Amino acid sequence: MTRALTIAAMALVGIVAIGYSYTRCVQPNEPTWQDGHPGWAPSDMPLRFTLEPALDVYQGALELAARTINLRAGCELVTVGDGGILVAQGDANAGHAARTYVGGGVTRIEIGTPLEAGAQAIVLGHEIGHVLGLGHDAFSSSLMFHDVASVADAYPAPRLTDADAGALAGRYCK
Ligand SMILES: [Zn+2]
């Protein structure tokens, strides 16, 4: 083998190895369903979310989060309007960006510390993911990364993984 061919072959192996590792790290094959989530039926879709009046500043971010999730799932799972699931102000001193309660007769998202502009749609989308039944995953570029607000600067457009998007579509898009 010539020197040039050897170098080309090594480069090819390098690309394949990088491609494989990339795929393995950011595209988990398993969706991350939340243990104990009470579940929704396809006929419950779309879930309607509304901001309490004091949080009107997040209206655009909530609409963006809804559009993004619907686009990734391939059907309308989330809508924004009056009534439905409330997004409310929670304890601003609790040390978290937001928290979601599902089941037990009430479903609700509570915002903790005020959200920076660049993190609003991300955090709201993440919490809506929990309402739909998704749990956390360990991939920092994923919308369902456990601490998605803290990596918003590094990953300004985190997405649902293909596995999570496919799982939502399979469960709810009928
Ligand atoms: Zn979370």
Please, which residues bridge with residue 63 across strands? none
CA 90–ligand 1 middle distance (angstroms): 15
CA 137–ligand 1 middle distance (angstroms): 9
Output the average pLDDT for the chain: 85
Q: Which residues contact 102 (CB under 8 A, 6 or more apart)?
A: 34, 37, 38, 130, 131, 133
CA 110–ligand 1 middle distance (angstroms): 12
CA 102–ligand 1 middle distance (angstroms): 12
The model's pLDDT over 111-148, given as tens digits with 9 standing for 90+, comes to: 998 999 999 999 999 999 999 999 998 888 999 999 88
Minimum mean pLDDT range among 12-26, 77-91, 101-115, 134-148: 12-26
Whole-model pTM: value is: 0.82
CA 123–ligand 1 middle distance (angstroms): 8
pLDDT of residue 14: 42
The model's pLDDT over 48-67, given as tens digits with 9 standing for 90+, comes to: 999 999 999 999 999 999 99
CA 66–ligand 1 middle distance (angstroms): 16
pLDDT at 28 over 70: no
CA 111–ligand 1 middle distance (angstroms): 12
pLDDT of residue 156: 87
CA 51–ligand 1 middle distance (angstroms): 19
How far lies 133's CA from each of 63, 121, 144, in Å?
19, 18, 11
CA 98–ligand 1 middle distance (angstroms): 8
User: By the 8 A CB rule, do 119 and 59 touch?
Assistant: no
**What's the rounded Cα separation, in Å, for the pair 93 and 112?**
7
CA 130–ligand 1 middle distance (angstroms): 7
Please state the rounded mean pLDDT for residues 24-31: 62
Domains along the chain? 31-172 (3.40.390.10)
